[in-house]
Amino acid sequence: RTGAQMAGANVHAVNDLNFDTEVLQSDGPVLVDFSAVWCGPCKQIAPLIDQLADEYVDKVKVTHLDIDESPGTASKYGIRGVPTLMVFKGGELVAQHIGAAPKTTIAQLMDRAL
């Protein structure tokens, strides 16, 4: 899901340059999908992330970060396996899940920040 692979309309791309602004300084909760183009499980959950971005459009900002394109942020948060899902609220990490997950599990992560 790089620039050529379109994410859902409500999924925002974040990177090392805009992570602080888009995620940590966001007014509301933010889900960050840490993934990589070569990651099979990342591709499996991508449609779920897109659906949840639509469903939570006014409640949780949904973002996607490619760990190969943004190694600084991935390193800062100790990302060792992808996909890793993290939910931030007020600049703080409030929930996370490592590995692919069913939609209900991802929704529960987002709900923890509401």
Q: With contact defined as beta carbons under 8 Å apart, do 29 and 114 qualify?
A: yes
Given 31, 39, 101, 109, the catalytic residue: 39
Given 32, 36, 42, 52, the catalytic residue: 42
Q: With contact defined as beta carbons under 8 Å apart, do 77 and 34 qualify?
A: yes
Would you tell me how many other CB atoms lie within 10 Å of the CB of residue 48? 18
3-class DSSP state for residue 95?
A: strand
Decide if 3 is catalytic.
no
Decide if 34 is catalytic.
no
Residues with active-site annotation:
39, 42
